[in-house]
Chains A and B, each alone.
Chain A
Amino acid sequence: MTVTREYYFEDIEVGKVLETPAITITEAHVAMFTGLSEVRVSEPHAVQDLLPLCLSSGLGWRIPQPPTVILAFMGFDWSFMKPVRVGDTIRSSSRTVAKRLIKEGGVVIEDRRILNQRGEIIQAGKLTLLVARRPAE
């Protein structure tokens, strides 16, 4: 028997909600993000707008299921609702809202929300991903 090690386009269920583990944003995250991107913060304990989104991509890989074979990130439409501060603990909740086949693979549209420790939505939007089709046996 072969154990499935990866999720393909065919395995993605429309409507299924995936909840990630949480991560506390620290001064170290903010400093490392500044070093890498040069995006600075204007006041103590502030967090760059893009940092929670970047961390949510890593949180997605920590869901206990085989990793999805993502070929490319195609685009997204994103809203920033509430500021995030150092010490906040964020998690992400996502749901596939549509999938369709194109020549290069499968296009998957995902609704993602990033929430803080009080359950407030801090950022949310739609992401479009290109996912590999299951290879022929």
Chain B
Amino acid sequence: MDPEPGIGFEDLRLGDEFRSPGRTITETDIVLFAGLSGDYNVIHTDAEHMKSSLFGERIAHGLLVLSIQQGLLERAMPSRARESCVGLKWKFKGPVKIGDTLHVRARISAKQDTDKPDWGLVTVEREVVNQLGDVVQAGETQHLVGRRTS
């Protein structure tokens, strides 16, 4: 199978910024993620219990929001021809509730050579922002990206 057409390490520039489309988080997203992951923690699944909690209602799984932001950002960033994610540093800063609408702001914050001549290391800083402008999650991901084969 031919690799998907996509860009190489050379095409990503330091400081390039990207903004994803928005996505509203629904109860369905949370129920499906509980079923997929097997994480039925009451903070995501018990509406009555959560009325008296710190958050006042069920909140989305942190890893659900992390997964959704990855999908959102893939819609906004050019696809890389060859890539693998090697590292992730992440902070969950605030709750995401049913009905919140999120988008992702991202920036290429570092580009480095690696010991493999046809691969470079790209660092992407990301912030997940809700409809009020609050940053609910933030962090950075590191990707090995193939250089264009000439």
Interface residues of A (CB under 8 A from B): 29, 32-33, 35-40, 42-44, 48-50, 53-55, 57-62, 67, 70-80, 83, 104, 125
Question: Chain A at the B interface: mostly helix, strand, loop or mixed?
Answer: mixed
Q: Interface residue count for B (Cβ, 8 Å)?
A: 37
Stretch at the interface among B8-16, B33-41, B97-105, B125-133: B33-41
Q: Is the CB of A37 within 8 A of B68?
A: yes
13 pairs, A vs B, C-beta closer than 8 Å: A39-B67, A39-B71, A40-B74, A42-B3, A50-B66, A54-B39, A60-B39, A75-B90, A75-B91, A77-B89, A77-B90, A79-B86, A83-B84
Q: Is the CB of A71 within 8 A of B67?
A: no
Interface residues of B (CB under 8 A from A): 1, 3-4, 29, 32-33, 36-41, 43, 54, 61-64, 66-68, 70-72, 74-75, 84-92, 95, 139
Other 6 A-B pairs with CB < 8 A, given A54-B64, A77-B90: A32-B36, A55-B38, A58-B37, A70-B43, A71-B54, A125-B88
